[in-house]
Amino acid sequence: MHNKVTIKDIAKLAGVSTATVSHYINHNYSKMSAETQKKLEKIIEMTDYKPSNIAISLAKNFNKSIGVVIADITNPFITSVMKGINDYAYKKGYSVVFTNSDNDVENENENIKRLNQQNLSGIVIDPVLADNPFLETQIHKNMIMIDRQSSIVKMDTVVSDNEACVYRFIQLMLEKGYQDIYFVSFPLENISTRLTRYKGFQNAMHKTDDENLIIYYNHDQFRRTIEQAVKKNALRKAFFTVNGPALLHLMQVIQELGYSYPNDFGVGSYEDLDWMEVLNPGISCIRQDSYKMGVAAAQRLIDRIENKALNEPALIEIKTSIVLRDSF
């Protein structure tokens, strides 16, 4: 088996420097004569030389690799995000390094530091805390935030249209005759996805108070709160959960208390997980295009790396879709 032809071999055969070969590979022909260009073209064709990503990166002065910092790799939503990032990066000739912060801000900071030490071209971050002060030190680097957003957008951020889609969904529940609808969530503090979804809920319900907000802290407290809400008045009731895990807690309580949906109340949720469709009845929900979010984040990052004409940081919203089943 013959050894693979290298950039040094091409330079030696052509009688030029490796830098000149790199310029040719990257179509920077102003650095050489027409004669040298033709000579390199012929030698590369004869040797069937295929430039490596390393050779291309050296010429462009960047490493064709990007890092991805994931808040919680066990989150079902993130799997498709990661695939979208990886697929687009691969298509563009970039390799991807994934890290998991395990929902810990300190781990997240360390992951970013380690990736920076590897001299990667850029980073996509699914943050534990979008307003993490450490991220303020990274805003002048090639970094894209995904899923969660900071209170003031200072770097490119890719999110779902959280507020608008919840507004539309709650309007559908109201149109079905549900008058007393509750927003079921984990604590809202500093979690932009929960806050923006709740804002969409409040706008649809024309509410400025938290009377119809139910927070899960622990199972016993949550069970009591749900039971009190169901018995509170004679109005037709419904529950909208902020995500799949919150819906799972609600379903456990429904089973324990002997209620059934949509007979006793309506149910809807943000996020579409496989098990929500096989329930009887299936759960009506908001479906995120998490794969498209990953692609959009990778595309925006690589555009920045390759100096496409991008100026101010952008908030990029990826449209969701509403899936209606028979839960309300």
Q: Average of pLDDT values for 229-245?
A: 95
For position 48, which CATH number holds? Answer: 1.10.260.40
In a domain, 284, yes or no: yes
Pair 234, 281 in one domain? yes
Beta bridge partners of 269: 241, 285
Pair 276, 171 in one domain? yes
Task: State residue 96's pLDDT score.
Answer: 96
Pair 75, 179 in one domain? no
Structural domain including 98 reads: 65-159+290-318
Q: Average of pLDDT values for 116-129?
A: 92
pLDDT range class, residue 1, cuts 50, 70, 90 = very low
Give pLDDT tens digits for 7-45.
Answer: 888 989 999 988 888 778 877 777 789 899 999 989 988
Task: State residue 58's pLDDT score.
Answer: 53
DSSP 177: T
Give pLDDT tens digits for 49-102.
Answer: 877 665 555 555 557 899 999 999 988 889 999 999 999 999 999 999 999 999
Give pLDDT tens digits for 131-142.
Answer: 999 998 888 789
Distance from the Cα of residue 325 to its chain's centroid: 26
Instruction: Name the more confident of 159 and 305.
Output: 159
Pair 170, 272 in one domain? yes
For position 139, which CATH number holds? Answer: 3.40.50.2300
Pair 83, 48 in one domain? no
* Distance from C-alpha of 267 to C-alpha of 260, rounded to nearest angstrom: 10
In a domain, 2, yes or no: no
The pLDDT of residue 2 is above 60 = no
Beta bridge partners of 157: 145, 315
Cβ atoms of 124 and 148 within 8 Å: the answer is no
Instruction: Name the more confident of 31 and 164.
Output: 164
Task: State residue 277's pLDDT score.
Answer: 87
Q: Over the chain, what is the mean pLDDT?
A: 91
Task: State residue 188's pLDDT score.
Answer: 94
Instruction: Name the more confident of 173 and 51.
Output: 173
Give pLDDT tens digits for 310-320.
Answer: 778 899 999 99
In a domain, 325, yes or no: no
Pair 197, 151 in one domain? no
Buried b (16+ CB within 10 A) or exposed e, 45-83: eeeebebeeebebbbbebbbbbbbbbbeeebebbebbbe
